[in-house]
Structure 1
């Protein structure tokens, strides 16, 4: 491991001097003409009041109620992640009515969750400020685009992103970590990957950004998420969006 790598990996820890973290963030922010956001995590906690693990359990129970208990492995059944359940079924029955119905059930659960979604601290003012200083924003997510639009409308943020909302499509093999939604955003906005920045909170966000050639900034609201990102290879991680907002507000 090089000394430069070591310094980068330490830059976003809470024990690192604030000036060093700010300098690294400023460099990352200055080069980004386009900012790609994951939705659930960096913008809001979609399932804050409508637990994702319960949604996953309900999807598994629905499959089992149709006599499809053997369709999932034990690990997939215990994942507590509705997207893992959805992807697993799609791999075994791609393009089937079963997959379409399962995806629609997930979309309805996500829509229900928007009413109790919790905005990520500093996300709203950061989005508005980044837009105000002339950066272009897009969302690249595994959630349904209709869910994203419903949430953004409720927060008065739609104009900050529209029309650049790229979410789940019928081609479920394109879910992250596949870079499909990032590439769609880059192509539509005419941006080179190196001139963009992806903000995400999961290893699949990081892997998608790497595949698309887009610099990545990890957001980890707790130590568990930080560990997952670091184990996946993330080197720039922040525990709050506030430092980004502070950098933008102090730009000349």
Structure 2
């Protein structure tokens, strides 16, 4: 997710809590694998600051004389999705929401060129595809952004056409299971045969409500603690362990 994209902590979670048996069990049952995008596949805003994008959204609203739409906490929130959600709450399905969503998509597309690939993600995606799993993206980022990144990395054929992301119907963002259910339906997948890999509570809740098993990815102890706190049972600090199991 974008809100803490500029958290540069390098402390790794202790993977001991994610037992090898639990991990193998999750992976062994998965015939369909749904990836969140920003986190498990890359750090989209590694160099193109998400906080700065959020600030630009707030500034743009103020220029339109609409600063009153945002509460103080939202004005200072580093996650651009918080601004979108706040405006959509006040003016759902409006031209204003459509404009803000498109402005965010343009900033995400700029961020693609400097995104950091998540270690082992490319190899994991290619290996899982090679052994017969079908893959999809279920993200709160724009699907155009995910497709652009995957194309640049030579990974688009592992996912296309199953890339599901943000629309202008912002109430359908995760934790709503909408994009997860879209992926399952399009691939003809029963939830019991699918696995979602994500790095946020919203990912977990969306998977849970769709009846899909969940594997947490946490690149530092803080993110692991957040996932553990909402009930995620299996969390890895590196996709290397997942790759080893798939192999």
Compute the TM-score of the two structures, normalised by the length of structure 2: 0.93
Per the alignment, residue 98 of structure 1 pairs with 96
Alignment map for 1:1-252 (pairs within 5 Å): 14=14, 16=16, 21-249=19-247
Quote how far apart the aligned CAs of 1:231 are.
Answer: 1.5
Quote how far apart the aligned CAs of 1:15 are.
Answer: 6.5
Quote how far apart the aligned CAs of 1:16 are.
Answer: 2.7
**Alignment size in residue pairs:** 236
More helix by share: 1
Quote how far apart the aligned CAs of 1:131 are.
Answer: 0.3
Quote how far apart the aligned CAs of 1:21 are.
Answer: 2.2
Quote how far apart the aligned CAs of 1:51 are.
Answer: 1.1
What are the Cα deviations for residues 62-111 of structure 1, in whole angstroms up to 9, with x where unaligned? 11111111101122222210111111111111111111110110000000
CA distance in 2, matches of 1:189, 1:246: 25
CA distance in 1, matches of 2:84, 2:183: 23
Compute the TM-score of the two structures, normalised by the length of structure 1: 0.91
Give the unaligned 5+ runs of structure 2. 1-12
CA distance in 1, matches of 2:166, 2:233: 27
Larger radius of gyration: 1
Task: Report runs of 4+ in structure 1 exceeding 2 Å deviation.
Answer: 13-17
Question: More displaced, 81-90 or 115-124?
Answer: 81-90
Quote how far apart the aligned CAs of 1:233 are.
Answer: 1.6
What are the Cα deviations for residues 193-213 of structure 1, in whole angstroms up to 9, with x where unaligned? 111000000111011111111
RMSD: 1.4
